[in-house]
Amino acid sequence: MTNECRHCKTELTLKFLDLGHAPPSNAYLTVEDLSHPEITFPLRLWVCSSCRLVQTEDFADADQLFTEDYAYFSSTSKSWLAHAAEYVDMIVDRLSLTSDSHVIEVASNDGYLLKNFLERDIPCLGVEPTKSTAEAAEALGIPVLQEFFGEEMAKELPRADLILGNNVYAHVPDINDFTLGLTESLKPQGVVTLEFPHLMRLVEFNQFDTVYHEHFSYLSLLSVTKIMASAGLRVFDVEELPTHGGSLRVYACREKADHASRSKVAELLAEERRRGMEEDEFYSEFQSKAESVRNDFLRFLLDARRDGKSVAAYGAAAKGNTLANFAGIKPDLIPFVCDAAASKQGKYLPGSHIPIRPPSALDVDRPDYLVVFPWNIMPEVRAQLAELSDLGTKFVTAVPEMKIS
């Protein structure tokens, strides 16, 4: 546990969010696990009054969160596969990448993205600490280093024309060491692209369910530019993306590289300041918004049980685990959750112990209401389960507010 900012070491005094105690969000349980004690950690966020980095109160180490049997496989989502393919098309053209280039992806997961470079004969390397996903990528022919990325290990890597990381920057416990590793791995004119959920959107749309122990940091462009500058990197472009409820894709290079700074960087920094992201008041009211969503969701579930309506959930995602544990939901209110990932089926959600079944279970036990935990892929889920809707099942999301359709 520490009460100092993970980046600038300023004492942390402003609390952003307290979700009580919860187990790691991807620590899915087997039947045998249900007979043993379950480890939980406080899930609290603090705001640095200096650099404005929002961060977890540290109780869990990375190796307790990202284990060998880590169950999240990026290729499970068709929309995420499409997003990765579109990114590769764009970045290959923008940076004129060829067979003489070199690409490194940090947190390469199961090869969902690097396989697109492989198809173009562009040399690439994945860095992925979780054995289960790394082996899936290696089966596709992608070389993978099964290690945590940082400055020291980066010294052993070949220099890259492109280093990319999608939804990893928020996951690293030592964000300074990670960022120095990016600098170390980069060619003089190389480019880093990082995608991460945008803190501004998290607050705007009340996305408290994206908070979990695996997310050590919650990032604004204001904080990211400071962190990168301290490691000798300059953010020269930024894009706003719809993924995960609103994300940023930042483009960075070495401080003296030739890449011209785009106006979008200054514009978005000004927007964050205009919204008050440099002021304490921006962060101090978030707790009550999260509690309001929790209360509305619990009220819906209790009313459904009172009225004799059946409820199930879809998507054994970290978002759902955060919501279920914050609300104290158990199988009496949501008897099962379905997920397309075979690695999760037959297991149980951490904390709530809701059993995970394959999507085919919905054909046997069609619910009156289906709660979609990963609200960010609701269109994809509705398309996949269109027949269920035709039969009368109503779809439910709780964040940013209760919606039944």
Which of the four pLDDT bands, split at 50, 70 and 90, describes residue 71? Answer: very low
Write the DSSP assignment of 350-393 as a string of letters: TTT-PBEE-TTHHHHS--SEEEES-GGGHHHHHHHTHHHHHTTP
Q: For all residues of the chain together, what is the average pLDDT? A: 94
What pLDDT is recorded for position 329?
97
Considering the domain architecture, whether residues 178 and 315 belong to the same structural domain is answered as no
Do residues 36 and 84 both lie within one domain? no
- Mean pLDDT for 302-329 is 97
> What's this model's pTM, rounded to 2 decimal places?
0.89
- At 191, which CATH number? 3.40.50.150
| Integer Cα distance of 357 and 340 in angstroms | 9
CATH of the domain at 313: 3.40.50.720
| Cα–Cα distance, 152 to 296 (Å, whole number) | 48
Do residues 125 and 199 both lie within one domain? yes
How far is residue 134's CA from residue 103's CA, in Å, rounded to a whole number?
17
Query: Does any domain span residue 173?
Result: yes
Q: What are 140-163's pLDDT values in tens digits?
A: 999 999 999 999 999 999 999 999
Q: Answer yes or no: are the C-beta atoms of 171 and 106 closer than 8 Å.
A: no
Statement to judge: residues 160 and 308 lie in one domain = no
Q: What is the pLDDT of residues 243-270, one digit of tens each?
A: 988 999 999 999 999 999 999 999 999 9
What pLDDT does 235 receive? 98
Residue ranges making up the domain that contains 328: 286-404
Inside any domain, residue 363: yes
Token representation of residue 165: 């990381």
Q: How much is the average pLDDT of 93-111?
A: 97
Query: Does 6 fall in a domain?
Result: no
Are 86 and 222 in a shared domain?
A: yes
Burial letters for 325-349: b for 16+ Cβ neighbours within 10 Å, e otherwise? Answer: bbbebeeebbbbbbbbbebbbebbb
**Same domain membership, residue 321 and residue 231:** no
Q: Is residue 350 part of a domain?
A: yes
Which ranges of 307-364 would DSSP assign to H, the alpha helix? 318-327, 361-364
Domain count, the chain: 3
Asked whether residue 20 is assigned to any structural domain, the reply reads yes
Neighbours of 278 (CB within 10 A): 13
* Residue 280 covered by a domain: no
**DSSP string covering 48-66, please?**
-TTT--EEEPP-S-HHHHS
3-state secondary structure of 311: strand
